[in-house]
Structure 1
Amino acid sequence: MPAFLAPHKSGVHRVTAIALYRALLNKCRAAPPPLEASTLQAAVRNTFAKNRHVTSRNALQIGFAGGYEALDYLDSAIAGDESSISHLKSLQARMPAALRTTTTTAPPKSTPTAEAKPAAQPGTALALRPRPAFSLPSRRRIPVLVSANKVPILRFTKPQPAALSHYLKSRIVDRQKRLDRKVALEAHLEIAKGEDEWDRILLAQGVQDEGGSEKGKNPLWSREVYGCYRYTLDAIDAEGLKNKDMAEKMVAIIDKEKELAEIERKERKRLKNEERRKRKAGSSFTDGERKALPSMLQLFL
């Protein structure tokens, strides 16, 4: 391991330490009855937690040597070696109280819940248009009405905002799903009509359906399919009306923006003319000064 690299940032050191830690815990769990497995495991956990920020090479070398020595004693104790068991028992008796207790993790701090954002109301963005002149960063720019795959939008600047792109994508995907559902239901409706015709033929011949329905009271296959088909058509028509209403509102906004832009243009022109007149009045001569100007010039000739 390079000298400039901290031990806890070295992959080799981390793998070795974790392997030793797990091996010690497994051996402590399998310790023979004279030894307290929970106490030994607590000692291993506390020792590793205490030395997890140690960066001294000598201290780490001593710690690893002690860990491997303890692992050898545990292996011998599990195998039934009385000397290893007595040695570990004496160490357990002389173990400090800080190592005996199991460290309990502190309860997680309660994070303050974020305040719920108010739900977006439909039409709120359009209701804020047109904006007043004092809230604009520069001159008023008249928006352009754009049909993005039959979805009306007002384009103020380029490039297009990411939020608007996500909105258009979701609208287009939903509409395409409705159109695909409409095509599929049209095919299912033809099949259902064929099933109804077949049921009428069977009923005309006196054959009762499997459901045991009485004559003239059997449900139509096409009824449920047509209900779904009608619901899909209504959703498509509602979206078209929504787009039309939105486009009309946007056209009204563009008209207002044009009116305000013209008013602001005239106001800028008026202020510019006033400023020009003030500059001209400040630099112009009076009639007496104009008459005295030639005589004043003669003084310098």
Structure 2
Amino acid sequence: MPGFLQPKSHIQHRVAAIALYRALLSRCSSAHALQDEERTSLHNAIRNKFRQNRKLQSSRQLGLVFKAGYEVLGHLDASQNPNSKSIDALKTLIPSLPRGIARSPPRWRPAKPPPDPSARDRCAVLPPEKALLNVRPYAETTGPRHIPILASANGIPFLRIKKPQPPVLSRVIRQALQRRIDNFHAKILFSNYWTPLSNHEDEWDAILERECDFVEKDTRKYGTFDPLWVDEVIKAESANRAAHDKDVQKTTEIAAKMTELIDKETELALQEGRKIVRGRKIKPIRDRWLK
């Protein structure tokens, strides 16, 4: 068998292991020279050892376990003779088996179904009056003051306070990133698809008006006028650009508030006489850095 191939993936190895496993179990069940308890213990030991060694990859270890299995199989075959020494060998082997090996293997239990995602409250967030930026910095703390760390997830600022990260924070970051990606994709779609298409439609309307004296009028709301396809695309592009600018402005304001919060927390911690450690080099912040 090639060295790069796992034994459990090789057909010859699987056939030999399954054949030995079935032969041992069948001979163990028909070994009438053993007591019922002895047959049960040996039967459980065979099942447990095969379960433990099913992922072996070492050629040396596989050779040893196969050799031991064939030796036990030979003793079971020879135990059919009442005067055989194999019966004594088996009766000596079975009591020496560890208790964990002689026990019956655990029963297979079906895996629990995953929880229904619809049962979770996806809007379970803190109320505005308990939001982080509204309640901190705390004037007094019962223990050491933990200063949050300003982090960025692809340009989305957030405060890292503890690990693991709360699921609500992860959801908010994913939503913000997805909103930014959707705006960018819409911008590309407007510039590369809808704008050229609307220009072609306007050119076609101009051809109809010039060659066929046909003018499309729109009198639905604003009176009679000659609409242009590109005007609606420009409006949509402006709305998309305004949404992007609003998102950037909101992100900048939140980052400024977070920076101000960290500065206040740092100042309070220094006033309390505590040493603040930041960075991998473990250098405390000095007073002159806060000025």
Place the TM-score, normalised by the shorter chain, in its bin: 0.3 to 0.5
More helix by share: 1
**Whose Rg is larger?**
1
**Normalised TM-score (structure 1):** 0.44
